[in-house]
Structure 1
Amino acid sequence: MAKDSKQWITFKVSELEMQALETYCHQTQRTKTDLLREMIRKLPTYSEDSQT
């Protein structure tokens, strides 16, 4: 898969989880996408060099 190729993720969260995410986004002035990407990149299995 090319590095600039993008994929979509859609999943359900509870109202409390969404509220926590939106509050944190507001406090940090960051988007949900930005925060979720950062969390994924912190996973021990994440490596830009090992894309399949």
Structure 2
Amino acid sequence: MLHAPRVRALETRHAELELRIASEGSRPRPDDQALQRLKREKLQLKEEMEKLRRAN
């Protein structure tokens, strides 16, 4: 798989964002803008991973 290292790196970043989103969301007063930014970034990573997987 030509894109495997890139996909693994994206998966790692995606998992890190998931943890940060959970952490921020569990705070008594979560920062809505930060959550929105993290979720948007996570979605972009997911879309890029899917695109790379389809390319192979």
Q: TM-score range by the shorter chain?
A: 0.3 to 0.5
TM-score, normalisation: structure 2: 0.31
TM-score, normalisation: structure 1: 0.33
Q: Which structure has greater helix proportion? A: 2
